[in-house]
Amino acid sequence: MLSGAITVKRVRALAPAVRRVVDEQLDALEQAGPGADLIETFAGPVPLLVICELLGIPAEDRVGVQRGSAVGTDVTNTLETQLENSPRWPPTWAS
């Protein structure tokens, strides 16, 4: 499934999108002001947003992916909570 998405050519072509993601999150960090949470505002979102770019997940679906990721990696959540909040993978993501 991922072998076509992760090629040297594709990753190189992704550089402008990675710069944009980083710039957007740095802007959000700056807007949050002094005392902003670096993990919540920058270090947490950037890798997942870059993965979304790499996989071609539309921008409008990324909030759901971020929410599902946060819930899915929180070990205090029950399996039921994790499943209820996991993102639904629309067929368009597979193309």
Q: Tell me what pLDDT residue 31 has.
A: 95
Distance CA 36, CA 55 (A): 29
> Which tokens is 81 given?
């909570």
Question: What is the model's pTM?
Answer: 0.70
Q: What is the Cα–Cα distance from 17 to 50, expressed in whole angstroms?
A: 8
Interval 49-66: pLDDT, tens: 998 888 888 888 887 777
| pLDDT value of residue 64 | 76
- List, for residues 69-89, the tens digit of each pLDDT value: 776 777 787 888 777 776 666
Query: What three-state secondary structure class fits 52?
Result: helix
Determine what percent of the chain is predicted with pLDDT higher than 90. Answer: 37
Which residues, 6+ apart, have CB-to-CB distance to 86 below 8 Å?
A: 68, 71, 72
